Amino acid sequence: MEDRHKQIKSAQLRSDILKQLYFKKTLLYSELSLIYNKSIPVINKIINQLIKDGLVAEVGYAASSGGRRPQMYSVKTNAMYIMAIAMDQFCTRMMIVDMQNNPVTNTQLVELPLNDNANALPQLISCINSCIAKSGINKTQILGIGIGMPGFVSVSDGINYSYLDAGDQKLTHLIHKAIGVPVYIDNDSSLIALAEQKFGAAKLKDQAMVINLGWGIGLGMIVNGEIFRGSNGFAGEFSHIPLSEDGALCLCGKQGCLEAEASMLVVTKKAIEGIKQGKLSSLQSFINEPLERIATAIFEAIAIGDQYVIELLSDAGYKIGKALAILIHIMNPQTIVLSGRGTKAGKIMLAPIQQALNKYCIPRLAGNTELLISTLGFDAELLGAAALVMEYLDDDILNAHFKQKQQPMDKTSV
């Protein structure tokens, strides 16, 4: 019984080491020994087995102050692949990455509206299959599919209660069955927070609030070094903080929500309405284009100093800052990271956000809160989707992956 327990612990350590190497990129024996409080010989044995299995590679030597230079290790780039999918209310982006998060396919952009679209789920499945087929990568080489999506997403139940109705099945199980690859889902803002924690501005931060500036305004919370989800998994509905009693009507049915006043969807629609009423802007030639194209044009207009666009974004930034003051008073975060699509306008919005914080936030609290703009930007959700797959990695999943790879290839597996 004791030997069996040791085998289980050793097997779990194998997948844990793989995760550490994925997130940290490279590590030494000594570093892994400290992380897991295991002896060098134990770590050496597991690393050698991972190398034998084709999962880990030696990647050079670290600097040394004297004596023999220590060997560095990393997950082998082509050991496995991950499919990362980032969804919003209108479009879906998908790509396949290697174990160093390098894209091995171009990002595929698909118009896939989620609101009032009964065919959204079969369309998503079709697009996933098409993307894998175009890649030339066999499905048995794909460790998993991570999907970020808007709405009330239950990670534990594998269900999105807002979109992509799977009937009486779990959404994750239905897609897995249709594709033949394990599937993991999470709210888009939580995945953006995960990306910032693992690879971005919130790295090594124990307390951070990550604001997803997208069509809506989401929030991912890092509390005590973990993604905080609340009692039912739906924590972070920052976009529905009420800013006024008689503001614009929100999709949730209430008036004056932050999302109805300052989201990128609102900025885009305000831009269209203003131009139709005679406002001068470089956006005039785009007013009949899809919302996705207009949003892109808005970010492009910043570079040429479009005054109307700057006014719209500054107004949105001020309202976001007012809502952030509420968040700071409640959570007292160490860091706030502005992430997601809207970070392309981050420099324009930063000043009005700070102005609102100066007005509405207690100085002692605001002064100790670091406000950062993400360097991951629009890629954050895709990176978070890939990281989600690795977060779930354990020895059972790893063994199932190897077992599937060893099965004979059929014509439908490519």
Give 345-396 pLDDT, tens digit per residue: 989 999 999 999 999 999 999 888 999 999 999 999 999 999 999 999 887 8
pTM of the model: 0.91
Q: pLDDT tens-digit profile of 273-293?
A: 999 999 999 999 998 888 889
Q: pLDDT tens-digit profile of 23-53?
A: 999 999 889 999 999 998 999 999 999 999 9
d(CA 307, CA 180): 50
Lowest mean pLDDT, pick from 56-70, 109-123, 277-291, 299-313: 56-70
Say if CB 61 and CB 72 are below 8 A apart. Answer: yes
What architecture (CATH level 2) is domain 81-191+381-413? 2-Layer Sandwich (3.30)
Helix or strand run (H / E) with residue 366: helix 363-367
Query: Confidence band (pLDDT; 50, 70, 90) for 411?
Result: very low
Tokens of 360: 């509405």
Q: Which of 52, 146, 86, 32 is nearest to 393 (CA)?
A: 146
202-375 maps to which CATH number? 3.30.420.40
Q: pLDDT tens-digit profile of 213-231?
A: 999 999 999 999 999 988 7
CB atoms within 10 A of CB 4: 8
Residues of the chain with CATH 3.30.420.40: 81-191+381-413, 202-375
Tokens of 177: 């069955």
**Across the chain, which distance is largest between two alpha carbons, in Å?**
79
Q: Which of 98, 202, 191 is nearest to 146 (CA)?
A: 191
Mean pLDDT of the chain: 89
Give the fold, CATH level 3, of 2-75. Arc Repressor Mutant, subunit A (1.10.10)
Residues of the chain with CATH 1.10.10.10: 2-75
Tokens of 33: 């020994």
Residue 413 has pLDDT above 50, yes or no: no
Tokens of 214: 């997208």
Q: Which of 196, 217, 181 is nearest to 88 (CA)?
A: 217
CB atoms within 10 A of CB 182: 20
Strands (DSSP E) contained in 235-389 are 335-339, 370-373
Say if CB 384 and CB 194 are below 8 A apart. Answer: yes
d(CA 327, CA 244): 16
Tokens of 120: 């959204």
Mean pLDDT of 99-109: 95
Give the pLDDT confidence score for residue 61 in this predicted structure.
Answer: 84
Tokens of 170: 């779990």
Q: pLDDT tens-digit profile of 225-254?
A: 999 988 777 888 888 888 887 778 777 778
- Tokens 């698909």 locate to 110
Say if CB 47 and CB 39 are below 8 A apart. Answer: no
